[in-house]
Structure 1
Amino acid sequence: MLRGSSYSTRFQNAKKNWVDLQTKKNRTDPRAKKNQTNLKAKMIRKDVRAIKKQVDLRAKKNQTDLRTKNYQVDLRAKKEPGVFRRCSRKHECYFINGTERVRFVERLIYNREQFVHFDSDVGVFVGDTPNGEIQARQWNNDQEGLELRRAQVDRLCRNNYEVSTPFSVNRRVPPSVSISLVRSSSQPGPGRLLCSVMDFYPAPVQVRWFQDGQELPEHVVATDVVPNGDWTYQVLVMLEIPPRHGVTYTCQVEHISLEHPLSRHWEMPQDTVRSKILVGVGGFVLGLVFLALGLGFYLREKSS
């Protein structure tokens, strides 16, 4: 019994000594340290790959959920005519007397309805709908976001004004003006006068009709000022009353590019049918005169 117990004790001591020796060897052996470092690096890379795989799986799941939601929205939009489900943001700058006073406005629109906006003159978000009021209260708690939008007056508006002034604010293109008679089968009379004001910039323009020097504020129909797509505009202004003989009609255009108003005059031409009859009668009379002269010379030659 004593002999067995002594043997067990010696075995445990030997095992402990061997473990201590291996531990000491690993601490002092550079190759062992390198192996431990490589093992730790492998374990770290394995953990990184596992985490990345989980992230990729979550991203794929989120994309699938997003596509599913978009598909459901599209189906709902098809079932509900007039529902667009689109959110847009508009930034606007307003200038008074150059950059003396500048106002920045940010508008947020959902389904073609403005639900919240920011006005630099107010300094905070203002809700335009019940949901917009809730959103405005949340955004107004973000002081950093409010300061960023207040700074847009200088960073966005004033900066872009200085850049775009040469070709947008100071640019001037005078209009070309012409008057034409537009005939219509649905309206009685010779037709209606149309004043065409073409290729001018900027857009604000004033067009007026006069009859023998008297302005005709009524019976005037105008189109909207339409952009041509090349930084110029056009507008058509029609006089609804039919023109009369012996009356002078004037189309007067006022534009910032003109030192003085530009006027074009128009008078009803003579009746073309009557003119053709007079020309025909004159030609016939002239023919008779030549015929009489020729016959007189012929008779004189024959008698002699």
Structure 2
Amino acid sequence: MNHIVLLLFSLGVSAAHCSGSHTLQYHIALVATPTPGVPQSTITAYLDGLEYGRYDSNTRRARFLTPSLSSLTEHLEMQTKCAQGFEVIQKHKMKFLIAYLNKTHGNGGRHVYQRKTVCELNEDGTIGGYEEIAFNGREVMALDKENEVYVPVTQEALTMTQQWNQYYNHAKMHKIYLENDCIQHMKLYLPLISTDMERKVSPKVKVSSSESDRGRKLHCWVYGFYPRDVKVKWIKNETDEIYSEESAEILPNPDGTYQIRVSVEVTPEEGATYSCHVVHSSLENTLVVPFESKDLSTNYITIVIAAALCLLLVLLGLYVCRKRRIKGIYFFQ
């Protein structure tokens, strides 16, 4: 479900545009219908494109994802309390949007509410920022800091935004947060997190295979890399990308690095080649790890030979039984 939320509304994470400029971003996502094992709400924090913090409704705790911020224990406790209160308010706002859309459009089913809050510290010391709100995959309104109101992104959201401003008079408060608290947090994190931003650890890669109902499954395990962003894909015959039906999730390791496993289904073909391609900021070029496709063809041939042997044994058994039956008939006659 997390992957669905991310695909619904492009909340892009951009790094600083130039040296000396910085951005701090909070991405909030809530789903109306709970899914077992999946947080109903999450808050993810980024500094210059680096994911450094996260809060979710399952643990109800904020946590730092970078070792360099681990000393800020009191600050983290304060962030946890703020996130808990913020989560409650956002659930009310999601219910408002659901009620409005059900009233006007009769929409039902799953609903996803997303919010993106960004503050900016420019190289010359000036500050900026913005806030966007999306619902069910579409951006519906944005913060107008100058007039301290939320404005509709589309004409369709005009009436809804007017009611939003009347019911939730929070625009001024969010403007103050963007221009003060958010900037102060950024200045607190930057000296500590700078080493994490510069740190790069190259990934290690292992490829393997296993049997599946439809033929063979190839696995590419990429692990021990930092920073988090990575692109992993399987390529057939050096040009054709194989798309996976499974969602691959980047997972953290205890040492602060990350890992991911990408698996694809293939049908053994004689002469076909398969390779795992990894793109990461620590690598100058794409890392290509080939899978020995001869293993696939060998396994395929082995299966065919085994099936042929089984058929031969069955036919031989039938032949022997038939000969015995004929001899038995002659004997009793």
Q: TM-score range by the shorter chain?
A: 0.3 to 0.5
Structure ID, larger Rg: 1
TM-score normalised over the length of structure 1: 0.46
Greater fraction strand? 2
TM-score by length of 2: 0.43
